[in-house]
Structure 1
Amino acid sequence: MAQQVQSAIPARSGGNHPKGLPYLFLTEMWERFGYYLMLGIFVLYMKETQGEGGMGFPAVTAYDIFGTFIAFTYLTPFLGGFLADRKLGYINSVYLGGALMGLGYMGLALPGLGFFYASIALIIIGNGFFKPSISTLLGNLYSEEQYKDKKDAGYNIFYMGINIGAFVCNIIGAFMRNKFDWSAAFLSAGVGMFLGLIVFTIGLKHYRHANVLKPAVAGDTGIGQVLSLVFLPAIIAGVLGWMIPGDILGSDSTDAFIAATIPVIIFFVSLYYRANKDDKRPIAALLAIFAVSVMFWAVFKQNGTVLTDWAQNYTDRQVSESMEQAAGKLYLAEEVSSKESMVTQYDNQFRTLKDDNGKEVKAMGRSVYFRNIDPARIPADGKPVYLVNTELFQSVNPGWVVMLTPLVVAFFAFLRRKKKEPSTPAKIAWGMLISALSTLVMVAAVYAGHNGEFKVSALWLVGCYGVITIGELFLSPMGLSLVSKLSPPRLTALMMGGFFLSTSIGNKLSGILAKTWYNYEDKSHFFLVNCGLLLVSAAIGFVMLKWLNKIMQEKGVK
């Protein structure tokens, strides 16, 4: 398969790429297969009743845990990247991080809160080592003169690998969950991660030379200083944030996370003040991009919370009669009984009703799915219906990425030939603006369904994901490319960690925003707020563009 990837690369990017790219592409594909399989069912698993094998958490709690989890998975790369730069090396960090994540996914297959939280911790720590290291290895491959002008295209292709894994995983996850159970799906995620490490091992000879440790220079912060002045204070601040009476920012986990990030943010800002003359302006540019990117991730990462809720409760997931039998055989559709029976009751926002003792309230009725669907579509004889698995909608975004990446790469290659290709910072600003438009698709969807009174076509979600995917392709891989271009060489993985720090903060904000979903009677107002946040961030990006482009010119990069 690596040869197939390599043969496809020139046609899609307009030139040859390093031989190590296909192997890193496939390694990341399998790693993201595991991560997004787990992520695609994570909220569903937490919200599922204990009688059906889930955790039985209230929806608000599930969203809070989800936001905190994805926040911490992108907070740890700052430390993992630093250790990879100075001590472990990128190859060792990929192995260490991948093994920890694989064990974490498999641990979620075990019952009990202890295994649940321990597995989450393994995934968080593992991602901290894996994510910045493999991205830095890729950037180092493009440091050779013949590849420098293809770095943006290389990261776009690498990003497509991420999303092939993210696309396929939900199909496998749905099959394993329907055919077997939740545990089988989580075990599949772990198997995917270890397959990625096998591919990484096969391709070692192509990037072993790029595994170059960055020696410290005068004025750099040492490992001991980072651990004592950043990591330890972050842990202490997080514990204090958790223990502070009351929920200052909405929940104990949110208080803990925000408190823990303060020492980390201070550390990254201090890099600017301690940098030499040559490094100061590039670091300032990266910090500015990191800050602007936060709001994109705050909206984008609602795919695992609010948009999953929309898919589950507000989207018509019933397959046609001609597809029912095929869907049942493929185990990609849930079988739901339309008979009157004792079922769990839900409020008007599809949240589980519980009595004073915390037990789920049950009464005669049909599955909650039938609440806002045309009664004519409910079988009169009580036969079951087949519903597309909710997690399959998590494959729509990566599916768009796989389809649109060649077009975006070709589009920028065309502009490059015409000498009109926008700078990397300009691509990021345009990405923010395009992403804002995706929220307006959901505003239209709310109106089409009369604010949840009726289920709407799945095409609304497909359209929303399509628009935000274009914004994503303008922003996310370009952010990785920009870090590789502007970072001082000895700090590349550390600054990759800074990029993921902005993702981390945005991810946590996505959970905070998702919790407000239930505060809006008119759901269109929720999406309009998201639109406003993205428009403000895009405006800031365009205002900074002249300054950012000047710094790019000073560094001799585009």
Structure 2
Amino acid sequence: MKTKHPKGLPFLFFTEMWERFGYYLILGIFVLYLIEPQGVAGGLGIPDKDADDIFGTFIALTYLTPFLGGFLADRVLGYIKSIYLGGVLMAAGYIGVGVFKDLPLFYGSLALIIIGNGFFKPTISTLLGNLYSEEPYKANKDSGYNIFYMGINIGAFICNIIAAFMRNKFGWGEAFITAGVGMLLGLVIFTIGLKHYRHAAIMKPSQEGDTKLSEILMKVFVPAIIAGVIGWFVPTMVLGTNIFGSTNTDAFIFACVPVIYFYVSLYFKSNPLEKPAIGALLSIFLISMFFWAVFKQNGTALTRWANYYTDRSVSESVEKPLASLYLVEEKSYADKETPIFDEQFRSQKDAEGKTLKETGKDIYFRNVSSEKKSELESNSDKPVFLYNTELFQSINPFWVIALTPIIVGVWAMLRKRGKEPLTPSKIVLGLFITSLSCLVMVGAVYAGNNGAEKVSALWLIAGYGVVTIGELCLSPMGLSFVSKLSPARLTALMMGGFFLANSVGNKLSGILASTWYNYENKANYFLVNFGLLIFATLLGLSMLKRLNKIMKESGH
């Protein structure tokens, strides 16, 4: 019986699982920590809109650095050293976020995570692809990436449960430090399995026409820094206002221009044999940006929906067990103040005119149903237990774990019948399915009378379920697509390009989320997201015939 998957897969699976455990633990509580009032609550007390912008910039930068990290792994450091370097930097950054309250040191810790992810993320994905470049594993590359992707989501699922326990039992800092411990555990597992993939971690030999490190630094890295500085200062100095809504957004978009130019230039400089593949990769990078712009709102808009608009009350049957395990927050309805509000949570004020964020008062009870309100008032001396908001971040990875075997099975069944869609077709299908998740949230808005009453958690569960099907058609397929079509000398660099598209989409997600309070009817917010994904779907369909042809001609 032939082995379908290489022996290194389980070790890379668990290495990535623990790395993503740390990363998604951070993301699950990041915005909640930023908006939590200072003092007793222990947060940073940053307004919602600014928190969305910071979150979008952070996740954007974590996916911008892989373009340089992938290049250095290909040409200078090698894959093994890059994974160790990236892992250690991320672990230090996670621990730093938990330790330092001072903003400069807090941002410095985020910088370590951003740089570390640049070395780690494209490299481990490329290493996995190299293992599947060998026979008899080549035909199972898509399945291998799906299994690898499930490992990512196991980490993303358990991290929020641990985060809830740590911050309820100990505090925000201890929760962040736990992320660093997870990353270090991942490196231990990677070390144990080295013998199974060391042979696949050999750097590609230099070829004529290869991009040199000096060229990357002088034509991409340095211009990106200069462009970012220009974006930071010039718009406000010359125009008196920001072009894209905030200073760091202007700086990010300006900095992206030289990087995007570099990837486009790879197409024009490539030889005739490589040109179709690179062109196809750039096309997929473009349409996938729209997916990430909507999908990554799980840490902003959908976290806000869970925090403010979803009924998080715990039933009496599980109240005590969960409370004893520190998996639910304890609130007091008796301590609340009746706010004066203008339909915007961020603007709610107490009788003295101070916002509830400033006073540190909880605003969860603002829009409970009249029936729930009567129940709370009659039992105002009893503590109220609520599911931690970050626990809702585990819904998406739960669906990934549950649905991955089904999706993989469907592709396998179609493959046996000779009807399996090619990778580009799966990606376009994923875009369309993801758009439908936005319509689920439109339904949630109407069910809650535009936020006047909290809605059932089932709306979020359903919305995440739909978006997960789209995600499984697109995200692991994108990694597989890059691994299949990239010229051997550019594999890690093009993997970095895939994460660059992710980066731009992530930043766009923060920009979109920061407009939340501009919409009086929240259904319109989700309809805008729906429109963006339908546009991307149509764009993908217009290119699909050519992309599938290139796939077939390349032997895939």
Secondary structure of the 1:145 match is coil
Q: Of the candidates 85, 96, 99, which is equivalent to residue 107 of structure 1?
A: 96
Q: Of the candidates 365, 376, 379, which is equivalent to residue 378 of structure 1?
A: 376
Counterparts of 1:488 and 1:150 in 2: how far apart (Å)?
A: 20
Counterparts of 1:141 and 1:24 in 2: how far apart (Å)?
A: 11
1:146 is matched with which residue? 136
Secondary structure of the 1:276 match is coil
1:186 is matched with which residue? 176
1:432 is matched with which residue? 431
Counterparts of 1:182 and 1:444 in 2: how far apart (Å)?
A: 34
Counterparts of 2:537 and 2:524 in 1: how far apart (Å)?
A: 20
Q: Of the candidates 4, 27, 31, which is equivalent to residue 19 of structure 2?
A: 31
2:416 is matched with which residue? 417
Counterparts of 2:228 and 2:31 in 1: how far apart (Å)?
A: 24
1:84 is matched with which residue? 73
Counterparts of 2:139 and 2:296 in 1: how far apart (Å)?
A: 31
Counterparts of 2:524 and 2:152 in 1: how far apart (Å)?
A: 32
Partner amino acid, structure 1, of 2:144: G
Equivalent residues of 2:356, 2:363 under 8 A apart: no
1:388 is matched with which residue? 387
Counterparts of 1:24 and 1:439 in 2: how far apart (Å)?
A: 33
Shift of residue 340, structure 1, vs aligned partner:
3.9
Partner amino acid, structure 2, of 1:271: L
Shift of residue 293, structure 1, vs aligned partner:
0.4
2:490 is matched with which residue? 491
Shift of residue 222, structure 1, vs aligned partner:
0.3
Task: Establish whether residue 43 from structure 1 lines up as the match of residue 42 from structure 2.
Answer: no
Q: Of the candidates 20, 34, 55, which is equivalent to residue 66 of structure 1?
A: 55
Equivalent residues of 1:79, 1:497 under 8 A apart: yes
171-180 or 318-327, which moves further after superposition? Answer: 318-327
2:230 is matched with which residue? 240
Give the alignment of 1:267-306 within 5 angstroms.
267-306=262-301
Moved beyond 3 Å, runs of 4+ = 340-347, 352-355, 357-367
Equivalent residues of 2:440, 2:462 under 8 A apart: yes
Deviations 1:248-304 (A, max 9, x none): 110001000000000000000000011011100000000000001000000000000
Equivalent residues of 1:345, 1:363 under 8 A apart: no
Equivalent residues of 1:28, 1:196 under 8 A apart: yes
Equivalent residues of 2:311, 2:454 under 8 A apart: yes
Shift of residue 347, structure 1, vs aligned partner:
5.3
Partner amino acid, structure 2, of 1:53: G
Partner amino acid, structure 2, of 1:125: I
* Change beyond 3 A, Cα 1:33–1:343: farther
Deviations 1:145-188 (A, max 9, x none): 21111000000000000000000000000000000100010010
Counterparts of 2:388 and 2:294 in 1: how far apart (Å)?
A: 23
Counterparts of 1:417 and 1:123 in 2: how far apart (Å)?
A: 43
Equivalent residues of 1:98, 1:197 under 8 A apart: yes
Counterparts of 1:83 and 1:345 in 2: how far apart (Å)?
A: 55
Counterparts of 1:532 and 1:408 in 2: how far apart (Å)?
A: 26
Secondary structure of the 1:386 match is strand
Secondary structure of the 2:515 match is helix
Partner amino acid, structure 2, of 1:191: V
Shift of residue 362, structure 1, vs aligned partner:
8.3
Partner amino acid, structure 1, of 2:391: L
Secondary structure of the 1:277 match is coil
* Change beyond 3 A, Cα 1:101–1:199: same
* Change beyond 3 A, Cα 1:218–1:500: same
Equivalent residues of 1:102, 1:191 under 8 A apart: yes
Equivalent residues of 2:339, 2:349 under 8 A apart: no
Counterparts of 1:346 and 1:50 in 2: how far apart (Å)?
A: 22
Shift of residue 367, structure 1, vs aligned partner:
3.6
Counterparts of 1:207 and 1:363 in 2: how far apart (Å)?
A: 53
Shift of residue 366, structure 1, vs aligned partner:
7.5
Counterparts of 2:503 and 2:398 in 1: how far apart (Å)?
A: 24
1:57 is matched with which residue? 46
Give the alignment of 1:449-488 within 5 angstroms.
449-488=448-487
Amino-acid identity (%): 65
Give the alignment of 1:339-358 within 5 angstroms.
339-340=334-335, 348-351=343-346
Shift of residue 341, structure 1, vs aligned partner:
5.1
530-539 or 361-370, which moves further after superposition? Answer: 361-370
Equivalent residues of 2:3, 2:136 under 8 A apart: no
Partner amino acid, structure 1, of 2:503: S
Equivalent residues of 2:37, 2:360 under 8 A apart: no
Counterparts of 2:212 and 2:196 in 1: how far apart (Å)?
A: 30
Equivalent residues of 2:37, 2:358 under 8 A apart: no
Q: Of the candidates 297, 303, 306, which is equivalent to residue 308 of structure 1?
A: 303
Shift of residue 381, structure 1, vs aligned partner:
3.4
1:258 is matched with which residue? 253
1:4 is matched with which residue? none
Partner amino acid, structure 1, of 2:93: G
How does the TM-score come out when normalised to structure 1? 0.95
How does the TM-score come out when normalised to structure 2? 0.95
Shift of residue 220, structure 1, vs aligned partner:
2.0
Counterparts of 1:185 and 1:77 in 2: how far apart (Å)?
A: 26
Equivalent residues of 1:97, 1:125 under 8 A apart: yes
Give the alignment of 1:109-148 within 5 angstroms.
109-110=98-99, 111-148=101-138
Shift of residue 486, structure 1, vs aligned partner:
0.2
Partner amino acid, structure 2, of 1:79: L
Shift of residue 358, structure 1, vs aligned partner:
12
Counterparts of 2:161 and 2:553 in 1: how far apart (Å)?
A: 47
Partner amino acid, structure 2, of 1:555: S
Shift of residue 216, structure 1, vs aligned partner:
2.7
RMSD between aligned residues:
1.9
Partner amino acid, structure 2, of 1:290: F
Deviations 1:436-474 (A, max 9, x none): 000000000000000001100000000000000000000
Shift of residue 380, structure 1, vs aligned partner:
1.8
Partner amino acid, structure 2, of 1:26: F
Equivalent residues of 1:344, 1:352 under 8 A apart: no
Deviations 1:97-123 (A, max 9, x none): 010000000001122112210011000
Equivalent residues of 2:90, 2:183 under 8 A apart: yes
Secondary structure of the 2:490 match is helix
